[in-house]
Amino acid sequence: MQTTTLRLGTRASRLALTQSQLVADALSSSSGLPVELVHVSTYGDRSTEAIAQLGGTGVFVSALRDALHAGTVDLAVHSFKDLPTAPTPGLTVAAVPAREDPRDVLVARDGLTLGELPPGARIGTGAPRRTAQLRALGLGLEIVPIRGNVDTRMGKVASGEVDAVVLARAGLARIGRLSAVTETLDPIQVLPAPAQGALAVECRSDDTRVRELLAALDDPAARACVAAERAVLAALEAGCSAPVAAHAELTEAEDGSAELWLRASVTAIDGSDSVRDSISGPATEAESLGRQLAAELLDRDAAALMAVSR
């Protein structure tokens, strides 16, 4: 039996390391093999630019993928929402582990909820999607662009630089910081980013051994939901910095089969207009459902809203 240590490429942020360790522990448990974390610095980590100006999807993953291609790591763990929708030659997402709650949350001063924040309150976020949807609520909030890791962004609330920040619930859950949440945002108000809360475990396509080992970590429900959400993004030809939201859930159809319900939206960055729609169908047709929903959004001028947001 081979006992070679598996080298797992990861970003070095607290959240990335926590996520990667979760995968490492699960993989070690299922395979009996030791797993070593290998820190890889990405352009997105080093840059202080706003997310929308960083150069598009992939700034947090390209260095990890280079390490995979070079053979210096055997697998890499990504936040799935950071991955470009186009396939990468030579690499495959071999596992999508069980997904955390994909919703956004508010971390605000004095325990306030979104509705309790006064007009003019300063809300920090670096995501165009969140910026657009928060503005669309018409609450008179001032949206402040911020960057940094989870602790840095929450620290801006503690210091009084902003009144609140909006973050992904999944990240706070993984690092044990849910106690800081003052409100979990209803997707009717703020629809999550495609693939938010999901992890992607990537390896070389020709590495049959690692692909087989990672298959034990794959969660079919998470993979189906993410496939539908990312199909919307791909069909809209939008990246992770576009004001596009999508959220899929699995339910049981009358015949006992898995049915997928998918919602998606595109919102102008100034919040002045948006289009939103939903679709449902067999979970086995996840990607097709995503493409169909994107087509409906495009028929309702979603492309024009994205153009205004660029």
Those residues whose C-beta lies under 8 Å from the C-beta of residue 301, and which sit 6 or more positions away, are 275
For 101, 174, 188, 226, 282, the CA distances from 197, given in Å and listed in that order, are: 6, 10, 18, 10, 22
- Class of residue 132 by CB neighbours under 10 A (exposed 0-12, middle 13-18, buried 19+): buried
Query: C-alpha angle 79/94/221, rounded to 5°?
Result: 75
**d(C-alpha 91, C-alpha 305), whole Å:** 33
Q: Which residues belong to the active site?
A: 81-82, 129-130, 147, 153, 240
E strand or H helix at 192: none
